[in-house]
Amino acid sequence: MSDRKEFRDLATPEAAREAIDSLDLSPAPETVPLADARGRVLSERIDAAIDVPGFDRASMDGYAVRARDTFGADEADPAELDFVGAVHAGATPDVTVEPGTCAEISTGAVMPDGADAVVMVERTDELGGEGGDRNAEGSEPDRIAVRTAVAPGDHVMSAGADIAAGARALGPGTRLTPREIGLLSALGVDEVPVRGRPRVGIVSTGDELVRPGEQLDPSRGEIYDVNSTTIAAGVEEAGGEPVLYPHAGDDYDEMERLLRRAADECDLVLSSGSTSASAVDVIYRVIEERGDLLLHGVAVKPGKPMLIGRLDRREGADAPGPSAYVGLPGYPVSALTIFRTFVAPAIREAAGQPEPATATVEGRMAVGERYGEGRMRLMPVGLLDLNDRDLPLVYPVDKGSGATTSLVEADGVVPVDPDTEYLDRDERVAVQLFSPDVRPPTLLGVGEDDPALNRLLDRLETPRYLPVGSREGLRRLRDDVPDVAVVAGPADREVDAVDLGGWTREWGLVVPAGNPDDVTGLADLVDGDPRFVNRPTDSGLRRSLDDALDDLAVDRDASRGELADRIDGYELTVRAFESPVRTVLAGDADAGVGLRETAERLGCGFVSLGEQSVSVRAAPDRVEREAVAELADALSEIDDLLADLAGYSPT
């Protein structure tokens, strides 16, 4: 019997937060150039070392005057002052304003000696000799007529008026935005003391992981490493400095080496994977033997297999004391959910970053949802704002913790209490958005996947499409969840809907180039031994294939089930319209159900079995929505969309 590590009693979410709060992941302060300081947090107070501005300056274009020389002046009886020269910004004044004189001045220029106010240029006139109008264009005026009175200080910014030397400019804990950086620039500050960014080491574990960009071998169960880059982006967003380490396999010695190296160099170590109760999972042993394991397992879904502890640093490490450690689950949805809920707040606090603006919206469940596992559930959901209704629709987007597309198809999560076993349709729920910037899609579509549909969606503004298959698409349309459903082939149920338009596509059997098994139709699959790959029962292609097999069964006085049993691989299904072609190309099947367009584009042979209609159907009460009308307009130009798709025609 294998030696399996069983979960301890699952900790509550509150206990997990307390355990993380007990960890020390605060970095030492540092000094950074002002150019790199945006978004950082000051670690100490900064006082002004100079006056800003450092001189009395004009706050608008006009004439520098002695204010008393303008007293009583107005439009009917202007004061006339002798013109003595001009002062420009960035230049030292070389004139003095004596009683009865004035000097032209530019915005920002130093006030000349003797002047204590500025008259805006719009309230003045230039005069020639003996009080007449100026007549030589380009020449300096002899006198200036001032048609308004000003008081001392009018339109003048005094030295230190912005901030005076010795004043408290910014305090510790201030987050530096462009405004604060502008003030520091005005003070001549070129370096600023800031709180350090926690260094967060990220170690993805598992022998099956491959870095994006490297060659993948699915036959060995290899998958691309999603967690390293996803969690690194989350660390940076929270104010930390992510440090990616090489993959650790499921070998104890290698795991220990990488974790201890990360602990020596970082304030916090995050690993993903190898935290569940499995014989090959060794991280908990590393923590117990080389540190302190505080918690193993949290009563939350997704994310039960979570570790919290400390890792001892070796002598000579970058910092004294142990490094904080959190082990995240291996599945991407679980890992990111646990990180966002428990770890990101701790990183923000250590970096001095404020909590992000929270965004919670109230919605109503589009469908009923059953749950009874006795632990808190963070249910990923999507939103659809119908505008004309009081609350947006909330629909679950949960393909399982291993499905990375759940990360982008959801807008937030609904926390479900452990004691809640069922959420009713139309029940009000609170949705915690992933970000205040989240904007729900303008249009929600579900149903068949199709290359022409992909092009159609590209012409719409922020649509969301869930390729759940024709049958499931119709079911959801009947339940009044999406705006539209895309249905391929014959439908096995009638749903009240409005047909917006569609197209036809040629379908049949995909075979290797050259058709080495000489497959000419379904009969060759039934009577021969080619290995076959099918589509799921929700797919419109599968429905058309089953109907064709029914016809063959009638001809042979047999049942469809009898013929299907004779096809090698009939129950082997793959998800998307390209998947059968890629299975054939990989040599894992000799034939598959697919489209002419995909077969020709990817270099396979094709045996036609007919044409299949694809229709876009809208919920009757959504037809007037702007997004649905936009979709209908795009469908009116379907000829253009289908122009170079083999086997496609408008209906």
Mean pLDDT across 446-451: 96
Give residue 375's pLDDT: 86
Domain 30-53+161-194: give its CATH architecture: Alpha-Beta Complex (3.90)
The predicted-structure confidence for 232-266, as pLDDT tens digits, reads as follows 999 998 999 999 998 876 677 888 888 999 999 99
| Reported confidence tier of residue 275, pLDDT bands at 50, 70, 90 | low
Query: Is pLDDT above 90 for 501?
Result: yes
Mean pLDDT across 475-496: 90
Burial status of residue 347 (CB atoms within 10 A of its CB: 0-12, 13-18, 19 or more): buried
Query: Is pLDDT above 70 for 17?
Result: yes
Per the listing, tokens 């150019």 go with 35
Higher pLDDT, 20 or 280: 20
Per the listing, tokens 């808190």 go with 376
Task: Output the six-digit token pair for 603.
Answer: 């270099």
Is the sign of the CA dihedral 279, 283, 286, 288 positive or negative?
negative
The CA–CA distances, whole Å, from 321 to 154, 235, 309 equal: 61, 22, 13
The CA–CA distances, whole Å, from 338 to 147, 228, 326, 373 equal: 71, 14, 10, 18
The predicted-structure confidence for 178-227, as pLDDT tens digits, reads as follows 999 999 999 999 999 999 999 999 998 877 788 788 888 877 877 888 88
Higher pLDDT, 137 or 341: 341
Proportion of the chain above pLDDT 90, given as a percent:
65
| Reported confidence tier of residue 622, pLDDT bands at 50, 70, 90 | very high
Proportion of the chain above pLDDT 70, given as a percent:
93
Mean pLDDT across 306-323: 86
The predicted-structure confidence for 565-594, as pLDDT tens digits, reads as follows 999 999 999 989 999 999 999 999 999 999
Looking at residue 218, the DSSP 8-state letter turns out to be G
Listed range (114-118, 129-133, 445-449, 540-544) with the worst mean pLDDT: 129-133
* Domain 57-157 class, CATH top level: mainly beta
639 close to 446: Cβ distance less than 8 angstroms: no
Give residue 279's pLDDT: 36
Listed range (311-315, 405-409, 484-488, 564-568) with the worst mean pLDDT: 405-409
Query: Is pLDDT above 60 for 456?
Result: yes
> What are the structural domain ranges in the chain?
13-26+197-351, 30-53+161-194, 57-157, 360-440, 499-619+625-650
Domain 360-440: give its CATH architecture: Beta Barrel (2.40)
Per the listing, tokens 């000696």 go with 113
Give residue 493's pLDDT: 73
Give residue 5's pLDDT: 46
Mean pLDDT across 102-117: 96
Give residue 287's pLDDT: 86
| Reported confidence tier of residue 391, pLDDT bands at 50, 70, 90 | confident
Give residue 343's pLDDT: 95
- Helix ranges restricted to H, 410-500: 451-458, 470-478
Between 626-635 and 451-458, two packed helices, what is the crossing angle to 10 degrees? 120
The three-class DSSP label of residue 584 is helix
Higher pLDDT, 650 or 133: 650
Give residue 336's pLDDT: 86
Give residue 403's pLDDT: 55
Residue 498 parent element (H or E)? strand 498-511
Mean pLDDT across 95-120: 96
CATH of domain 13-26+197-351: 3.40.980.10
Strands 101-105 and 79-87: parallel
Looking at residue 512, the DSSP 8-state letter turns out to be -
Q: 3-state DSSP: the chain helix, strand, coil percent, rounded to 5?
A: 25, 30, 45
641 close to 456: Cβ distance less than 8 angstroms: yes
56: alpha, beta or left, given left = phi > 0 and alpha = psi -120 to 50? beta
Give residue 252's pLDDT: 77
Question: Residue 373 is which amino acid?
Answer: E
Query: Is pLDDT above 60 for 8?
Result: no
Give residue 125's pLDDT: 95
Give residue 247's pLDDT: 80
Cα 607 from chain centroid?
A: 43
Mean pLDDT across 174-180: 92
Separation CA 301–CA 413 (nearest Å): 11
Query: Is pLDDT above 60 for 107?
Result: yes
Query: Is pLDDT above 50 for 3?
Result: no
Burial status of residue 461 (CB atoms within 10 A of its CB: 0-12, 13-18, 19 or more): exposed
Query: Is pLDDT above 80 for 388?
Result: no
The predicted-structure confidence for 85-103, as pLDDT tens digits, reads as follows 999 999 999 999 999 999 9
Listed range (73-77, 165-169, 198-202, 400-404) with the worst mean pLDDT: 400-404
Instruction: Report the mean per-residue pLDDT for the chain.
Output: 89
Nearby residues of 324 by Cβ (< 8 Å), 6 or more positions away: 20, 23, 24, 25, 267, 268, 269, 310, 311
Give residue 281's pLDDT: 62
* Domain 499-619+625-650 class, CATH top level: alpha beta
Looking at residue 475, the DSSP 8-state letter turns out to be H
Looking at residue 125, the DSSP 8-state letter turns out to be E
Mean pLDDT across 553-565: 95
Highest mean pLDDT pick, 68-82, 286-300, 427-441: 68-82
Separation CA 318–CA 336 (nearest Å): 28
